[in-house]
Each structure stands twice: as C-alpha cells, then as structure tokens.
Chains A and B, each alone.
Chain A
C-alpha cells in the first residue's frame, strides 16, 4: 500500500513538472499532441516528430504559420481536419490560463507551502481536463481513434453526426461480406494471374509455340441477403438504428430483400431503393400499420416462408433476423417457420440487441424456440459486435454444431 501511494505521489509530481516546465515550444507541442490524443486523434511518435520538424521550417514569429504547419502534420481525416481549429483554440486557452495562474504565484515565493496546495488543485484540474494520466494514455493511444470510440458506443445513444459516420463504416463492412470470391477461376482480360492450364490448352493446336497467354481470376461468389427486421414496441430503441442498417445494406448491394414486421410482414425493399433515408424511414413507418405495436414473430416468419420462401430462400442466401425474440404468438408456428428457413438457406444470423448486456440469457419464448435453428446469435448493440456477426456470415455453416 505504502509503495503504491508513493508511486502515485511521484507520478503526480512528475506530471506537475511536465506541465510547469513547458517553457520550450517543443514541450508545448508535445503537450498539444497529447491533448489531441484524448480527442481521438491517432498520434504516435512519428506524428509528433513530424509536427516538430514541420514547425522548425516555419518563421517563429507568426502564429498563423505555426498553427497551419501543425494542422498539416497531425490531421489525418476530414473530421480531424475540420475540428482542428477548435481544438487548437481550446488547448491554448486552457494553457494560457495555467500559465497565468503560475505567474501570479511567483512573487509570493516565501509562502510557497500554502500556495502549493492551491496550485496543486489548479493543476489537478488542468490535468484532469487534459486527462494526462500517462499510463492509461500510453496504453490507449495505439488503438485510439474516432472510429474506435464509435465502435464501442451503444447504438441507442448515437447522435445524428455519428450515425452518418457509422453508415459509412457499415457500407464498407457490407461491401466486404457481399463481395466474396469463389475458389473457381474464370478467364479475364485483366492481367492478374497467368493461367498455365488454360494457356496450354488454348495453344495446343499450334504445337509447342505459345502465341496467346491467358489470365484468370477468381470468380465472384454471388450471395443473396434477406433481412427480416422487427419493428415492434419492444424494439423501439433499436429499430431506428436497424432501419439505418438495412438502408446501408440495401444501398450497397442489389441482391437483397428487406422485410419489416411487427404483427404482419411487409416488404420494404422498394421503398428503401427509391427514397432518401429520412423519407424512406417515414414512408415505412406510415405504411406499416403496427409500427411499434405488439409482436407475433412466429406468424410473420411463417408468412414469409409461405409467400416468399420459394422464391427467395436457397443455398446462396443468408438470412438476417433483427429482433429481440419477444413473441406473443404460438411457439409451434415459430418453430416450424424457423426450421424451414434454416433448412433452405446458407446461414441464419439472428441479431439480438439485448444480447449485448451481460446478464442476457435467451429467456424470451420466441428466442428459445428459435435457438436451435440459428447459426449465429449475436448482439448488435454496437458496431464491434455487429462486425463480429457479419464476419461470421462469410464462412459456411458449421455442420458439426448444427
């Protein structure tokens, strides 16, 4: 205990020195970099050296150049680029406050002991504000970025701006799963890889002379997606996000069908295709009569298998069900529907936003009945979990477990 306390004290003293002795400009730049790190900038030592090198090329007397040089050196994304000025201002404001506090203390050197406490408090405040806890800081910075922050954030508390950013990430993800390559190869004009087998075959008639060279590449595997999204009241918190999600999917890929359901099933692919996001959302919630109503997942799913199952479900299809599994209908219907879907498709992935909480167990009756017919049950409460679930979609169904 004692040792721990003294280490902590030492750290505080060291930190204090770190801040008080920043009379050199380079020190301030480093401090600024650390401040930016807390704001989600990815800054390693390379960027710090870059920043220092950059300002060494600048005239010392003009702040404008100083600021722009720093901006050019440390920003890496549009978000960072635009926000830079604001953060810059914030940092120097805070720093100048600290400097002022310090200069005030200098004349009363004799009463230093009394004042140190006050100063300590001030620096403590600044430190807290700067979040200059070196251990955590050092640990975090290698993986610290705006995106990282977002991936761990719960979907239910996202702002509009963050939502847009999220959409970009989602589209990227969606594209990744959808554009899979098959192991089969096809000839191509692109000079990707020389296909010896086909080259020899094509040139056989000419004897041993090879005139024509044939290249091949991997065939695209065309997977189809079906999204079934629960929009009942129990899902209210998440359904808005899920609409965003299916919108992102629908717009990246054309082999996709989307349905929403609460007490009845509705096909919404066309609405999502033809309208802007906001409009699409409004139109869907208008047209679906029981938006945020009760749920009968079982009968909806069985409607789906009856009406669309024949056409939409095959071994190239991945089915996503986005629901919390609160069913008020008969479990037997649900069971039948789920087993049909399971048998006919490549994979069934159930995204349950509640599965993210630590004390989750598939208690809901609907969830319990569906469980044997699901390949992957994943929480979809934040981007990271969603990413995991989507990565699962790429592989084939594991028959040993099923």
Chain B
C-alpha cells in the first residue's frame, strides 16, 4: 500500500517525459511527505530545473519561478511597495480632507503591494510549486534571508505584519555548485545529487524527447556523449545538449554518425572554443572509441 504513492510519482515523472533514477522519485516523494524543500545539485544540463516543471505539471499547480542572480535581494524575491502608485495616490488625495491614519493604512495595504515570487507562492490559494533556480548564484545574504521563509513559512513585512503561508508550497532549489551553500540552508532541505545519466538512461531520454530519431543514431549519439564526458573539457555537455544534438541530426534524417557530420554539428554540443579545438583534433580517435566505423568514400 505504502509504496503506491511512490510508484505513482515514478509513473507521473515518466508520463511527463522525465526519466531518471529511483533516487529522484524517492526524494520528491519524501519532500512532499515531509513538507521540506528539496535541494537539487548536479552538473549543468542534467535536468534539475526540469524536476520543478514536471512537478508543477503533475500536481496540476502553478509553477512560480525565482531565478537567482548576484545582487538579488528581498525586493525582487519577496515584495515591494509600489512607490509610484503610492505617490500618485497621495497626490490624488491631496485636495480632499481625510483621516491621516486611514490614509496611511490605505497606502500600505494589499493594493499597493507588489508580490514577488516567494510571497506569491505562500499566499497562493492552491498549493504551488516554487522553483528557486540557481540559488548558488545569489549572495550569501539572500541565502540567509531564505532561511526564515523555508523553515517557518512566514514572511515579515514591517508595515503590515507577519504573513503566514496559507498553503505550504512545494519548494525546489537548484544549484550547480558555483559556490558552496551554507550548512544552515542545507539542513533545512532534503538533498539530491543528480549526475550525468548512464548510457541506457540517456538513450531512453533521447527516445522520449526526440521520438523521430533513428534508433541506431540514438545509440551512437549517446555513446559518443559518454566518451565525450570522460574527457577533460572546460564545459562538459549535459543531457540537454544531447537532446539538442539528437534533434538536430534527426531533422537531417541521418541514420549514422560520421566524422564530417560530427565536425559540422559540434557547435550544438560544445560551447567553448578550446573544447572545440581539442575535440576536433582527437575526433577520429573518439569516434573509433564509440564504435562508429569511419567509412572512407
């Protein structure tokens, strides 16, 4: 009985085209059950953000996304007073005689409050999914500010008071370790590390995402990517690159990889000129390893 829900989540992930290890389903399941945020880390392009999207779709709830960047602060994440609007309102009221206290109450009411993602998520009518993307890009100050929200599910606005969550949102934080996150934040979350998928998983992903791809081509693409990731590159390609590449090659109706094609379409996979140069030099060796027989015409 008990693992019904877990199976359900697995199935749900699969139905929405998300193929991954069992650990992923387990972490999602537990974070829903324990009502704890889920911190997902892993290299770029392995589908961290996708988890949030799929979850929102599956739970049939709204996805509220907060993209983090350096310098992100509470006015962008939480709330902001609509200053201009407030000023205009005051200007309009100027001629009229009114109670000053009442006026103050009005300009600090909901009407003038701009809700930013986090406040929006916790005041939502239905349970929502809050995706805090690339948390490691934000400053440490922002991280500590998140702590209040993530553990107590409440937000304090000085003029209004404390706003408690009507519905605890499903929070997913993603990061790819550009900076070490604080222990305090980690302790409030469940942790999930997603690595590059193995050959079978990746093939399955390619097949679901790009159904038109030739099965032989799919295999060759995946094994090529696998070899590619073993090399020391500046920027190792992720699963999203694999999918892009498969899509690109499938649109050309190819059934086999060959050196010329790989060389021409390398820009889809590699995003760094040094990597490009390195791979171009060792391409034939790499193709040999992946089992692509170079046919000399």
Contact = CB atoms under 8 A, between A and B. Distances in A.
Interface in A16-62: 42, 44, 46-47, 50, 53-54, 57-59, 62
Contacts of B91: 209
B244 to A, nearest CB: 26
Contacts of B160: none
Contacts of A11: none
B193 A81 contact: yes
Contacts of B71: 190
Given A72-B190, A75-B191, A192 B83 contact: no
Nearest to B74: A192
Interface string B162-193: 00000000000000010110010011011111
Interface string B283-297: 000000000000000
Contacts of B83: 194, 213
A395 B145 CA distance: 25
- Among B23, B30, B75, B186, chain A packs the most CB atoms within 10 A around the CB of B30
A368 interface: no
Contacts of A81: 191-193
A69 B26 contact: yes
Interface string B1-18: 111011000000000000
B294 to A, nearest CB: 31
B274 to A, nearest CB: 11
A77 B41 CA distance: 9
A190 B76 CA distance: 9
- Among B5, B33, B80, chain A packs the most CB atoms within 10 A around the CB of B33
Contact of A172 (B6, B34, B36, B180): B180
Contacts of A213: 83-84, 87
A63 to B, nearest CB: 13
Contacts of B31: 72
Contact of A57 (B22, B30, B73, B75): B30
Contacts of A54: 30, 33-34
Contacts of A73: 30, 34, 190
B29 interface: yes
Contacts of A388: none
Nearest to B232: A276
A186 interface: no
A46 B187 contact: yes
A210 B94 CA distance: 14
A308 interface: no
B193 A78 contact: yes
A169 B84 contact: no
Contacts of B29: 57
Given A59-B2, A77-B186, A191-B80, A72 B30 contact: yes
Interface string B192-216: 1100000000000000000000000
Interface in A45-102: 46-47, 50, 53-54, 57-59, 62, 64-65, 68-69, 71-73, 75-78, 80-82
A213 B86 CA distance: 12
B154 interface: no
B81 to A, nearest CB: 9
Interface in A260-308: none
Could you tell me the dominant secondary structure of chain A's interface residues? helix
Given A50-B34, A191-B76, A191-B80, A71 B187 contact: no
A44 B184 CA distance: 12
Given A81-B193, A82-B193, A210-B87, A44 B187 contact: yes
Given A50-B36, A81-B191, A192 B23 contact: no
A8 interface: no
Given A68-B22, A190-B71, A76 B41 contact: no
B180 A72 contact: no
Contacts of B27: 72
A42 B183 contact: yes
Contact of A192 (B6, B75, B186): B75
A168 interface: yes
A144 to B, nearest CB: 11
A194 B36 CA distance: 35
B23 A71 contact: yes
B237 to A, nearest CB: 19
Contacts of A345: none
A80 B30 CA distance: 18
A392 interface: no
A53 B191 contact: no
A145 interface: yes
A172 B34 CA distance: 32
Contacts of B26: 65, 68-69, 71-72
Interface string A155-172: 000000000000011001
29 contacts: A42-B187, A47-B187, A50-B34, A50-B36, A57-B30, A59-B2, A64-B22, A68-B22, A71-B26, A72-B27, A72-B31, A72-B191, A72-B192, A73-B30, A73-B190, A76-B191, A77-B191, A78-B41, A78-B177, A78-B193, A81-B192, A172-B179, A172-B180, A190-B71, A191-B75, A191-B76, A192-B73, A194-B83, A213-B87
Given A57-B5, A72-B192, A73-B34, 6 more contacts: A50-B34, A54-B30, A64-B22, A80-B191, A82-B193, A191-B76
Q: For the complex of A and B, list the 10 residue pairs with the smallest distance between their C-beta atoms, beginning with the closest.
A: A76-B186, A81-B193, A68-B26, A72-B27, A59-B3, A59-B2, A75-B191, A72-B30, A76-B191, A78-B193
